[in-house]
Structure 1
Amino acid sequence: MDTDTIPVTGVEELEKHLDELVADPNLDLNAKLFDHVELQLTDANIPPLIPKLLPKLTEILKKYPQDPKILCSLAIKLLAPLNFTQILSLASEEALILALQSPAPSANILAMTVLEKAAKSPGDAAILAMMNSMIKSFIIQWLSAPQVEVGEKGSKILGDLLDIDCDTRPPDGLSVNGMEIVVRKPPGQGLLWRRIFNDRDIYDLILSLCTNHPLGTQQQSLAQGRLLRVLPRLAALNFRAVTWSDFADLNQKYTDSTNNRGILHFAALFMVDKEDMLMHLNLIDFFEALLSIQRITPFSTHKIDTLKNIVRDATAQDNVLKAAILTLPERTVPEEADELRQFIQEILNSE
């Protein structure tokens, strides 16, 4: 007998238990029952269970006062075969925003798992780009969650979403040190890029959370680290988007310079307190990743001139950073070392 056709045992009991929790979210969870059902789930037997279980789970999660880890685990398993738009027909934008805003990391991961689905197609990414409140809540939680796993998932999802949505991607993809940075695929619509980098409120939100985080200096450092890690990938996808801003007044506010420079300049030159040793190391890692990837992106005079200016300003009073950049070719794979050395010499104008 095909194991996928064997009925999932315990579903009726679980449905009854979920009804009880909908009526009274303060009841104790029957963790064994949840585990018993979840362990039996497969791609083949999940679909008929989705309409039975997922709406009830969503309802409970809106008002469940305890750690919702067990509820979220089952919900994530049930969502596996669904695409982004299918999930939106079952769980409202409001419910997803509540999960993003939850203090429980399991709820954040659940909501981010849904957003991750939008990175599967340019059309779904474009739909997400229209959800201003959702994007805002995602950015806040990505830069405000103290848990490493939430920050890492947020960074990956943001990169994947902007990757699928990118309308300027290098047509043949990009690989550095044997690792694929930009996958070869058709261009997207660019709507999510415009939502994040051309929407004044969201752009301001990112800069403010990395400059004066309401949760304090420790969370501010985490936010800065997360932005630094995602920017080299974004710069490979759309260099102009991260080096140009329509908001000269926000640059005045956060960098004390009135110009149209973008978020790359902010992160590279103004954001980090170099007296903070850990953040200085993060900044060095950022420059090493940025230059390694930019060596293989399509040539443009604008790119070279911009990188020259950023590196010149960043290394002017920072010999440790300059030494790290100069010795970077020694720490890369041998077959790429010579070209990287030439590229760095060009950027640094060194002989």
Structure 2
Amino acid sequence: MTVFTPATPLFISTLILSTLLAISASHWLLLWLSLELNLLSFIPIIMISKSLQETEGAIKYFMAQALGSALILLGALMIFNPFISPQISIIPIILGAMNKLGLAPCHFWFPNVMASISWFSCLILTTWQKIIPLMILIFLPLTHITPFLMITGALSSLIGGIGGMNQTSLRPLLAYSSIGHLGWMICTSAISSSMAIIYFCSYILVILPIMLLLMSKNIFSNIQLFSTFKSKHSFQLSAATLFMSLGGLPPLFGFFPKWMAIQAMSMSHMLFLPLTLILGALMNLYFYLNLSFPMLINLLNPSFMKKKESITLASISSLILGVSPICLFLIYALTMFN
């Protein structure tokens, strides 16, 4: 259970401020300082409850992020060296941003940290903390290393699918799913930066209600999930719809960003890359269907059909995010005007 302290609003405000400073930074040194402020603001949020497990997760997160910040600072200093070409000096910046994101092959810290922290910290880690390094990879002039980023994105999609296969805890499961979605974002950014931003916003719209739902029920494992939906049937519709949407099952909302990415890659005459991404997405969909099918089967149980339960706000929001055609037309219109 997350316990908020009086200092929590202060750390959250500095976390938001550091991200805004990094986005609007006009110098590499200011960007690096914003990253350090962001790191020092998130560490106390992780350690809100002061448990040994969260302390261990905070140390692992600090070591990984400190390495990423050091690489970015090294690349920034190399840029101002006239004896080093810009193509070489940009490589440490890319590696530092990949390490901060948790992209393969720099992903090893991400599931371990997710397994050790609270749902509130997981929510921030998978959404807000991805903004700065993702913007670095999207908006840098990276034409000469675009093939490297595509290989990294395809590898992240495969590792996100393979790593989530044998997970019984929901937090590492969602961590590997985030790695897989990051692979799609990176590959999409090589074609269109605005399309990658749309994919990231779509991912936030799906992962946000899932984590809020699991945080409200204090669920951390598959066993807890199944025992909860057996006793509280109103939980089933929202959880099953959101899990399948996160897995990208058509025609749910999570499928449409993948559809856009596949269409853009096919128009760019790419074949191997979308096939690799689809293979990783199918593995993600497999373990989310394993979570969703027991809930859907229980919904068709005659004993459940006789029960009268009120429709919760979570159920309504999951249906809107799951099947709303307005979301499809909005995403399609934004890509058409790109």
Interval of TM-score (by shorter of Structure 1 and Structure 2):
0.3 to 0.5
State TM-score, norm by structure 2: 0.35
Q: Which has the higher helix share?
A: 2
Query: TM-score, normalization: structure 1?
Result: 0.34
